[in-house]
Amino acid sequence: ILVAYMMTSLFFNKFTHRYLLEGQTIEVIWTILPAITLIFIALPSLRLLYLLDESMDPIITVKTVGHQWYWSYEYTDFTNPYEFDAYMIPYNEMSPNGFRLLDVDNRTVLPMNTQIRMLVTAADVLHSWTVPALGVKVDATPGRLNQTSFFMNRPGLFYGQCSEICGANHSFMPIVIESVNTKTFIKWI
pLDDT at residue 62 is higher than 60: yes
According to the model, what pLDDT value does residue 20 have? Answer: 58
Superfamily of domain covering 60-188: Cupredoxins -  blue copper proteins (2.60.40.420)
Give the pLDDT confidence of 71-105 residue by residue, as tens digits: 999 998 888 888 999 988 888 887 777 778 788 88
More confident position, 149 or 18: 149
Percent of the chain whose predicted confidence (pLDDT) is above 90: 45
Q: Which of 15-19, 113-117, 159-163 has the lowest mean pLDDT?
A: 15-19
> CA end-to-end span of the chain, whole Å?
82
Q: How does residue 22 score in pLDDT terms, banded at 50, 70 and 90?
A: low
Question: From CA 176, how far away is CA 129, in angstroms rounded?
Answer: 11
Q: Residue 107 to residues 34, 51, 76, 166: CA-CA distances in angstroms?
A: 51, 32, 17, 22
The pLDDT-based confidence of 121 (bands split at 50, 70, 90) is very high
pLDDT of amino acid 53: 67
pLDDT at 95: 78
> Does the pLDDT at position 19 exceed 60?
no
The average pLDDT across 165-183 equals 88
pLDDT of residue 175: 93
Rounded Cα distance between 154 and 138, Å, is: 22
Domain boundaries, the chain: 2-53, 60-188
Give the pLDDT confidence score for residue 140 in this predicted structure.
92
Compute φ and ψ for 132, nearest 5 degrees. -60, -35
Q: In whole angstroms, what is the distance from residue 86 CA to residue 67 CA?
A: 10
With a CB cutoff of 8 Å and minimum separation 6, the contacts of 58 are: 115, 116, 117, 149
Instruction: Give the 3-state DSSP-derived string for 15-45, with helices as H, strands as E and coil as C.
Output: CCCCCCCCCHHHHHHHHHHHHHHHHHHHHHH
**Cα maximum dimension of the chain:** 90
User: Per residue in 31-47, pLDDT tens?
Assistant: 899 999 999 999 888 88
Counting beta carbons within 10 angstroms of the beta carbon of residue 58, is it exposed (0 to 12), middle (13 to 18) or buried (19 or more)?
Answer: middle
How far, in Å, are 10, 31, 121, 152, 177 from residue 129 at the CA level?
59, 42, 9, 17, 12
